[in-house]
Each structure stands twice: as C-alpha cells, then as structure tokens.
Amino acid sequence: MASLPPRKSSTPSKGTKQSLSSLDVLLQMGFPQNRAEKALAATGDRGVQLASDWLLAHVNDPHIDEGDTRDFYLYMCPTGALLQQLTQFRRRVLTQCGRNGAHSLLPHVTLAAPFKVTHRQVGLLVDTLERTAGRCLAQLPDRWRLERYVSQNYMGLFIEEAQADVLKKMTAQLARELARHNIKLEAQTKSLHLTLAYQFSAAHFVQLEELLTLVDPTSACLWELRLYSRDPRLEGREVHKVLYAHVPREPDELELVVGDYVYVSRDSLQNSPDGWVEATSWLTGQSGFLPHNYIQPMAESDSWTLHRALPMSRSALSEELDGPPCRRQPLQHASSQERLRQSLSSLGSDTSLQETAERPRSVYDNVLVTDDPPAQAERPAARPAPLAASVDSSAPRQVWVARHGERVDFTYGSWIPFCFDEGGNYVQKDLNMPVTLRTRSDGPKGFAKDSPVTQVGRVQARLTGEAMKRHNVQVHHVYCSPSLRCVETAYFILAGMGMQHQLPLRIEPGLFEWLVWYSDGLPSFLSVSELQSWGFNVDAGYRPLVTVEELRDRKESCEQYYQRNHFVTQHALRTAASGNILLVGHAATLDTCTRQQTGHQPRSAVELRAFLGKIPYCSILAMEETSGGWELKDALFPPLTHSYNQRLDLALLK
C-alpha cells in the first residue's frame, strides 16, 4: 500500500482551540460586561449556565447595574462530629432559650474583618487564597486544639494560641499579597475563637451552661478554610426564609416563592402598622411588601455565596491543591423554570442542614416555583391578613403523629363490585361512603389496596384539626404516607385548622405500613400529579427519603420497619430545621415514629400486632423535645369517641 504524503500543516482540532472563559461566553451571548461580571461573582464563578440563570432571575432587578463590589468573609469552619454537636446545641438553645447573637451566622472562626472586592477581582482573590494556603501547608497541625471559655455574657471555643498564630500569619501573608492588587484585607489580631452564644439574657445563663455539655471540643473535626461573599444590600438587614407563596394583589407587593430568602430591615419588622413589611428578594433582587408571618428568621450566612473551601490539614489540603479542579456536571436539557431551580442549587451555606462533612448548600435546593394556594383566589383585592403560622422559637418543638380516619374497605368489606358498574362508574350506596370518586388510571381495582376514607373519616380528621386550632397547636410541615386514606386525612386535618391551602403535603413512602402485610404486592399509589389533579395541595418539589420503587424491592423484619419509620422521623426533623411537624400514617405509625425517638427499643412482631388493635381511627399524639431528649405528651384537646352505627333494616318495621 502506498505511503501517505507528508502534510505541510494541519487543521487544529476542537481540543486544541483556546477555551473561552465564562466571562467571554457571557459577553458573546450579549450580556453587558458589568452584569456578566456581577453574575459570575454572585454565583461563585460556577460556570456559564449558573451565571446566565442568575441573570435571568434578576432581569427585573432595579439595582442590577448599581455597585461593582461584594462583601467578603474569610472563615475557618468545622465539619464532621463537632459540627453535628454544634448544630444540636444551637437547635436546643433556640428551642429552650430563644435566639441569641450566635444564631445569625454559621459556626465559624473569623480570620479577617469583612472586606470588599470588585466583581472582576474575585477570580484573582480565589487564586491568591489557594497559593497562600499552599505555602503554609507545612505549618498546619494534624489536629486543631480548642479550649472552652464561659463568662456571664459569652460562651465559645478558643483555638490554642500557638496554633492560632499559624492562622494569623497565613492571613497576614494573604493581606500582603492582596494589597499588591489594591484589595484591602485586615487580618484578625485578637484571639481566634468560635462563638457558641452571646447577646443572651442573663436568666438563660445556667441553662446555656448545661446545654454546653453537648459540645465536646476534642471531637473529630476536619476544619475548612472558606471564602464567602454576600450582596452589599444585606447591610443592616435581617435574612428571612419564605414559608408560603404569594402572588401580588397590589403594585407595591413582592411576589414570594417558597424557599427564597428576603432581606428585611429591623425597623420595618418592629414598626409595621398592619403586619406587612418591605423586603428585597434574594432570588430576584426585587423589593416590595409582604405579610411578615409568611417568612421566618434564618442565619444571615444562609444567603451567602461560597467561593472556595480548602481543608485545613496537611494531607487533605495537599491533595486538594494537587488534584484536578472541581467542575460541575452540565445540566440536562430542561425548561427555563426547571433549569433555574436545578442550576442555582449550590451558591451558599444552608447552616440548618450542616450535620455532615459535606460542603454547605444553598436555599435554591429547596426553592419551589409553585402556583399560588387556591385560597389566594378567594382573597379580596386589598391586602390579605397574614397567616398566624410563624414559628415561636420560645416554645418546645413538637412532632404530631396521627393515624388515618375511618376507611371504606374496613367499614363495608367488598365494596368495589357493589359501588362500581361495568363501565367503572362510581355510585354512592351509603351516606357514609364518598359522594364522588375521581377516576384512577388503574381503574376501580386500584381502590382495593388503596382505600379512601369514609365521610365519617373526613369528619374525624376535620374535628381533630379544629381542636388543634382551638388549642393553638401550630403545624409548619406535613409529611404523610402515600396511601390515599392518609393523604385525605392529612388534608382534612389541615382543613379543620384552616391551613389546607397554605401547608403542602410532603408524600413520603417511607411512612407506609409494614411491608409484611403486602406480600402479594404494594398498592398502586396515586402519583403526585394525580393527587394534585384531585385537588390536594401536594409539594411537587419534595424528594422522598424512601421511594415507592425501593419499597417494592424490599423485604423487612419488624425491627427494620421500626428503623425505616424512625429514619424518616429523624430526616423530617433535620430537613425541617425549625417548626412543628405533623406525620400522618397508619395505626403502627404512632409507635414506629416515636418509640426510638423517645429512647425505647422497637417492639417485637407479636407486641406490635397486639398494639395495633388498640389504636382507634384518627388517633393523634404529640412528641415534644425537652432538654433530655424527646418525650410523649398528652394531646391538649379531648379524644374523639363515637359509637358503632348499624344500618336500619326496614323488615323490622313490617
């Protein structure tokens, strides 16, 4: 075969072309340079997709072209076991003593005073930080030693002086490097410490000191050097998280998206004459008025952007700096709204969930672009009265656990052939049966294992909700089994409380009953979209801890059933970091979701079966957090009791 002739030149391949920076791409897309630089700084320079989605979200931000700097913070932050203890301590303090100054930021050691950096210098700042940390690699200790300090107005953990000097020298070196680029950073010269509590009432000192035993300064911990930034508009304002969606009725009102953060001035909160406050949305940058109890206070740092996190140990930092740069996976094709929810998922630090060694995440993980609750359409054009649903931080946290109401199949036996004709059309054959039933995709047979509740079951649930409302029981998060009878019960409990349109149901298959009773297969549960089409207010953005598919592939013992429900309970408490929780499930749920949480061992299968027969329909109990853990509490309202009512037989009168 003839040999190939030599070529004088070759066409460069795609791989040899010089790659464009994110800024270059945004400029080619037509964005102005000042906006492109601002978007990259606000998103931690995580890529073009994230920056363009930020620009899309801020398209109506009236201040998008104002200012060219961000406020930056240099912290050393704990992870691992120590962080778990700190998180538990802060939650207990919040429940028993209320908020203090330490709740406004994530657990941290301040290495420098806040400083300003222009948007275009953020990349230079990150690179300089990495180089400086790398030069100090040999001086980093294997374990950072902490000492507990307590006074009448302050509690904290102080880094041993010799080790603190290593951090001070590193920060001073960083300040010198940045000064060459006209970036002014002032290194911390005082003792380096992690604040546990300050600005608290003297009356809480003894209680705080007792809670301090939850924190062991010698616990395992991998510290991280973190660089954060925030929007300068946050200066002098508090950060609050949006609990309920709101569609503006007046031109000066702010549209609210569940999970967004808003910046609110203290004066606006304290001096509001009508319960409405002016705020600025973190998601969009727009400002307007909103009902003050549609939001709840959060740590200011939850709304910050994390630019870089470096492990502060010799081996881990060396591996971090020598390894390839971390890149995010590209997003799959999606609609603009869905892509916005996906891509803006890791800007900041949701301190309420920092119980593992994972990097902080952002509120965008929880943002749901939802429709307004149906009740909004019924409101007058004038501003509606705010909901009485704000979290009382001074009250003990509670978990309410309820069984579903009376079910059709256990009341009437084989009811499906009796109530459905050959065409699958439903006819009410008893006043206690549902008046109507929606069509299921699997037909009437789908109700065989997934029964609805009776009319009495609805009344039971509504009466329970009304009693909870009369006795000022507050519920902020609702999780329920995917069984139709549980979804209906949860809905009508909330209807009794007047909250069925404000509190969405989180469908959690992990709350379904013991799988041993379904050896021939699980029910074909209604999907979230089907439940919504039936009129239920379901949280479409909730990601279940246990999926239906996992239940289908699982065989479990009685102990494993307890473990599954206990796991779901703990997950709900961690995910919903504040406020009270309502769990709606089955008869066993009252025990499986509370027994281990209150310090007891799971029951045996024999004990569980004996227990189930003693749990009436729509039974409900409360579990309350105390200084010593969780305890079962009697409900604040009377129980629900009624007699059996048999059918009238006309033959008796003839």
Record the tokens describing residue 239, joined without a space: 């950060």
Torsion, Cα 508 512 518 524, to 10 degrees, reads: -40
CA 292 to chain centre: 20
Task: Give the pair of three-digit tokens for residue 287.
Answer: 């400002």
DSSP state, 469? H
Centre a 10 Å sphere on the Cβ of residue 59 and count the other Cβ atoms it contains.
11
Nearest one of 257, 233, 231, 224 to 243, comparing CA atoms: 257
3-state secondary structure of 246: strand
Task: Give CA angle at 178 (174, 182), nearest 5°.
Answer: 155
Three-state secondary structure of 378-444:
HCCCCCCCCCCCCCCCCCCCEEEEEECCCEHHHHHCCCHHHHECCCCCECCCCCCCCCCCCCCCCCH
586 is catalytic: yes
Question: Whose CA is closest to 285, among 261, 268, 259?
Answer: 261
Chain centroid to CA 492: 25
Residue type present at position 567: F
What would the DSSP string read from start to end of 474-542? ---EEEE-SSHHHHHHHHHHHHHHT-TTTS-EEE-GGGS--GGGGTT----PPPHHHHHHTT--B-TT-
Question: Is 642 annotated in the active site?
Answer: no
Residue 548: CB atoms within 10 A of its CB come to 17
Cα–Cα nearest to 362, from 113, 133, 57:
57
Tell me how far apart the alpha carbons of residues 263 and 597 are, in angstroms, rounded to a whole number. 36
Are 507 and 482 within 8 A, CB to CB?
Answer: yes
Q: Which of 35, 383, 404, 462 is catalytic?
A: 404
Is-contact 50 25, C-beta < 8 A? no
Residues 6 or more apart in contact with residue 410 via CB below 8 angstroms: 451
Out of 58, 462, 586, 595, the active site residue is: 586
Write down the catalytic residue from 90, 230, 397, 403.
Answer: 403
Please indicate whether residue 404 is annotated as part of the active site: yes
At position 197, the amino acid (one-letter code) is: A
Supply the residues annotated as catalytic: 403-404, 586
